[in-house]
Structure 1
Amino acid sequence: MEFTDKESRQIKEELTEIEQTRILPPSILDIIYQKKLFKFISQSLGGRAMDLPNALRIFQETSSIDGNLGWAVTIGAGGGMFSPCFKEDVAKDSFSPENAVIAGSGFPGGKAVKMENGYHVNGEWKFCSGSPYATIFTANCIVENEGNSRILSFILNPDQVEIMNDWNAFGLVGTSSHSIKVSNQFVPAERTFSIGEKMNNFEEVVHQFPFVPFSEASFASVVLGIGKNFLDHVKMYIEKNKHRWGQGDFDKYQLVTRKWKTEMERWNNAERHFHRMIDHVWQDHLKGKPLAAETLEDFSLVCKKAASTVLTCAQNLFRYMGMEMIMQHTELNRIWRDLHTAAQHAFLIPYQENETIAYEINGEK
């Protein structure tokens, strides 16, 4: 475990005002920096150089403490996957500081014009989580005047970026996933990169793992963690109402407890399938086995089914929580909103037809 019970309680206390402030407080960022939770990169750059299964467990654990924390850690750590693509000096400058973290977007929302020794960049990019505390931004642009149009990634300093402050989602309100805007900024050629093109020797084994499966697994871990937090709070609410619900001819306490146990079993089943698949694929990766298209398809489905299962668990308990569930000031409501916001990521949407998108409780489906 990354956090002691005392540290978890402290973090939860620090985040009690996040619905009003809509940003991670400096005290939480300090904990992230101290534990190097954004440093999912080479040890030579001051990182932890973690393997994928353990990193995913940290993403899940932080998300089970608080969804905003888990999302911030997952996005921030994931930015380290680009470190081998940076030119060596730029990688050192970008990733070595203790507070180093990337915000940005993979969507080609900008235009770049080739100039002498660099590019002029303009554009807007949505959903750049962690914008207020990012030390660098990355953004994809279409280069317009190099013959055939191509997509190139640009490394921008915070003073080159305007944060639009438009993250108005109903959940994960503290992730600061704002749009950014860049207007007529010059970016030197050495501060560009192409995803997948190795430019230095800082690469770890995890960097060789395909980026899309890495992302699918990362966001599934977040959803599993938030889901566990929701189930824990449901259990606390049930116990809080044990005496009142157990009165009269109808024992609501026993009914809802049975339903909670069923959904807890469903969640455990999803988590078990997920980590079993992660461990299996990671071992093949360590052995240098190419990941076949069928394996990657199965991997993707397991991630999507894990997320869908967690949503099923939450929805099956939602109506039994009474008015507590719909009041925005309650923890149950906040966690439910965070859960549905995280699960809305495009990497987790089950577009497959005729597929069972949630696990049953017998562990077989």
Structure 2
Amino acid sequence: MLLDRVDLTITAEPRGEARDAAFEHALEVLRERRDEFRDQGYVPKDFVNLLKKAGIYRASTPETFGGEPEAPTDFLARIEEISTIDPATGWVASFGSALVYFSALPRETQQKIYAKGIDLTFAGGMFPMIEAEKVEGGFIINGEWLFASGCAGADILGVGLRGGPETEGRPLTALIHPEDVEIVENWDVAGMRSTGSNNVVVKDLFIPDEFTFIRGGTPNIDEPLTRYPALAYAAQVLAVTALGAGRGALDYVREQGSSAVSVVGGAAKGNRPVYKLGFAHAEAELRSARAFFYETTDSVWQKALVGEEITAQDKALLRLSASHAAQAGRKAVLAAFDIAGTGAIYNTHPLQRYLQDGLVPAQHAMLQENTFEAGGSVLLGFEAGIPSFP
């Protein structure tokens, strides 16, 4: 059975100084090892365990089961900080939010899972949604799924199944043990390489009904974080990695631009008009997008705390702020690349990490340009026009 093989012996440090120190230690290790992660194409389990000690993977475990759920702003800020060092590792860490999906599992199943431990890493490939064979008590699944980000360090994996009349057409997620999948190492990409978003293959595997749930379905646990819009949160945790990438890139060009003289002995590079203008515009735009992002998050979170209705327009604003953040992060890393000069074209240049990773979030289906149109439609009172929005 799935849970018989899940090992959740690594736990977070106690809240307060010990956990803060664990987070700072993880950041120090990341600075030393980020090139290693990129070269091998995934964030390894031993580093994921450092993030567990820092509390990242209990941040969405329900309080009902002993978890310590974090307010979205607090969690997002930590992912942003990780991403200023390495956006791809920030992407993997962002799935510390993914247990909000588990709230749609039967309550008894959740209780069994969290009885094993509350520091749980979940990853998976949701697409394409496969038509599974329905049998008594569950499903027989066969298929290959894409983009299983973080699968190398996961305790439990999920794969997407096509829904039917019983789910009103909404897709299902089936939970499986990592030992029951074949990881196809085909993640040959320029950006977000360390996420290890390889394909996963499953053959003739039985999944009990109680280990399936509707992604974004009605929660069976009522807590503030389960009231917060799950699909919007999924977009936000990815978008914030772009804010981190933009911050890391602009911090680099600010430091370089402040040097006394250029390499050829002339005026400091940063004292040139094009450098100052490019940096200032990018700084203003990134900070503005960040303010919109966190302001909207806090506004909706206050509603979740008191159980006030979260409207479609609230959700649309969350989605807009996330898409805008992804675009602003992209623009910031491109601006940094532009003003850095010729040296930035080398693969070994520090900006390449932020450039290559920072372009990716806005490419994600949840953050692409059509989400702006959909958000505008909802705010104007029309149908969104795309699935699973807002």
Question: What is the RMSD of the two structures over their aligned residues, measured on CA atoms?
Answer: 3.0
Q: Which segment is superposed worse, 145-154 or 286-295?
A: 145-154
Cα distance in 1 for partners of 2:288, 2:164 equals 49
Residues 112/254 of structure 1: CA separation in 2 closer, same or farther (3 Å cut): same
Q: Pick the aligned partner of 2:262 from 244, 247, 257.
A: 244
Matched, 1:254 2:274: no
How far the C-alpha of 1:115 sits from its partner, in A, is 1.8
Counterparts in 2 of 1:353 and 1:32: CA distance versus 1, 3 Å: closer
1:286 partner letter:
L
Shift of 1:290: 1.9
| Alignment match, 1:123 | 143
Residue pair 2:67, 2:118 contacting (<8 A) in 1 also:
no
Gaps of 5+ in 2: 1-18, 377-390
2:341 corresponds to 1:322: yes
Q: What runs of 5+ residues in structure 1 fail to find an aligned partner?
A: 357-365
The 8 Å contact of residues 127 and 177 in structure 1, kept in 2 or not, is answered as: yes
Q: Aligned residue for 1:174? A: 194
Match of 2:110 in 1: 91
Identify which of 156, 176, 182 aligns with 1:156.
176
1:36 equivalent in alignment to 2:60: no
What amino acid maps onto 1:271 in structure 2?
R
1:134 alignment partner in structure 2: 154
Does residue 10 (structure 1) correspond to residue 29 (structure 2)? The answer is yes
The farther-off stretch of 204-213 and 189-198 is: 189-198
Q: Deviations over 1:161-180 (max 9, x none)?
A: 11111111212211111111
1:306 matched residue in structure 2 = 325
Match of 1:101 in 2: 121
Matches within 5 A, 1:45-64: 45-64=65-84
> Structure 2 counterpart of 1:341, which letter?
V
The answer for the alignment partner of 1:362 in structure 2 is none
SS where residue 343 of structure 1 aligns? Answer: helix
SS in 2 for 1:187: strand
Decide whether aligned partners of structure 1 residues 285 and 313 sit closer, same or farther in structure 2, where only a CA change above 3 A counts. same
- Displacement after TM superposition at 1:44 (Å): 4.7
Q: CA deviation at 1:26?
A: 4.3
SS in 2 for 1:17: helix
164 and 94 in structure 1: CA distance in 2 versus 1, 3 angstrom threshold: farther
- CA contact under 8 A between 2:257 and 2:271: conserved in structure 1? no
Q: Mean Cα displacement is larger for which, 94-103 or 112-121?
A: 94-103
- The answer for the alignment partner of 1:188 in structure 2 is 208
Report what 2:231 is aligned to: 212
- Distance in 1 (alpha carbons) for counterparts of 2:104 and 2:124: 15
Identify if the C-alpha distance between structure 1 residues 306 and 2 changes in structure 2 by more than 3 Å, giving closer, same or farther. Answer: farther
Aligned pair count reads 352
Decide whether the 8 Å contact of 1:121 with 1:184 is kept in 2: yes
TM-score w.r.t. the length of structure 2 is 0.80
Q: Answer whether contact 2:245 2:357 (CA < 8 A) is retained.
A: yes
Q: Determine the C-alpha separation between the residues in 2 that align with 1:284 and 1:143.
A: 31
Q: Does structure 2 conserve the Cα–Cα contact (< 8 Å) formed by 1:125 and 1:181?
A: yes
Q: Is the 8 A contact 1:60 1:222 kept in 2?
A: yes
Once the two structures are TM-superposed, the CA of residue 126 in structure 1 deviates from its matched residue by 0.6
Shift of 1:99: 5.4
Q: Of 45, 64, 69, which residue of structure 1 is paired with 2:89? A: 69
